[in-house]
Amino acid sequence: MLTRMTASATHMSLPERVEELLAAGGPLPIVAAGEAVLRGVAEPYDGQLDDALLARFVAALRETMHAAPGVGLAATQVGIPLSIAVVEDPAPGSPEVLEARGRTPLPFRVLVNPAYRPEGDERVAFFEGCLSVPGWQAVVARHARVRLRARDERGRSVDEVFTGWPARIVQHETDHLGGILYLDSALTRSLSTNEAVAAHWSQPTPETAARELGFELP
């Protein structure tokens, strides 16, 4: 198992498991697909960690996300089944790509017990990857606009509408906390290595990949 926790970790309390995970310092090991923690529903967060430990855990999640690098990371991805995720996207890229994907900067934030619902019927499809499925990407159709409700790390209410790429990020990370990987809803004929995407399918939208690989876009 790709975590720092010992074989007896499942018998520890959640605070003990988090403490052990943080003990070595540095970015945390990311759990890969095939580990049961990625397929379980995360436990709602209700103060299981004291304020200091929660702050350390959130900082470690952010460090790990940056180091990967990625734009989001759920607690389950480091083996901790708590409903906590972090997101942040500086939105690098060419203006053409950013505009086509609706990719705008998403400032760092912590999502505690997040849940989303679609706002409208529009769905948009783009290649998407996951730190827990390293080396691969696939086209996923997601809601273009969602309303997210959550708490932040200080317990303050979050009730916000996200569109474009930020909407994709919060859906992806919230899904993780429900035991869902992006592959569950991906267009499987689009599945490509990162190298293949860079070489062939780096256009702003996936129309060329759909035509060449033989899948239909919504």
Indicate if 99 belongs to the active site.
no
> The dihedral of CA 63, 91, 42, 55: what is its sign?
positive
Order of strands, sheet of 84-89, starting from the edge strand that comes earlier in the sequence: 72-74, 84-89, 106-118, 145-151, 157-163
Find out whether 130 is annotated in a ligand binding site.
yes
Catalytic position from the list 173, 207, 212, 216: 173
3-state SS record for 135-178: CEEEEEEEECEEEEEEECCCCCEEEEEEEHHHHHHHHHHHHHHC
Find out whether 66 is annotated in a ligand binding site.
no
Find out whether 172 is annotated in a ligand binding site.
yes
Cite the annotated binding site by residue number: 130, 172, 176
Give the residue ranges of the annotated binding site for Fe cation.
130, 172, 176
Q: Any idea which residues carry the catalytic annotation?
A: 173
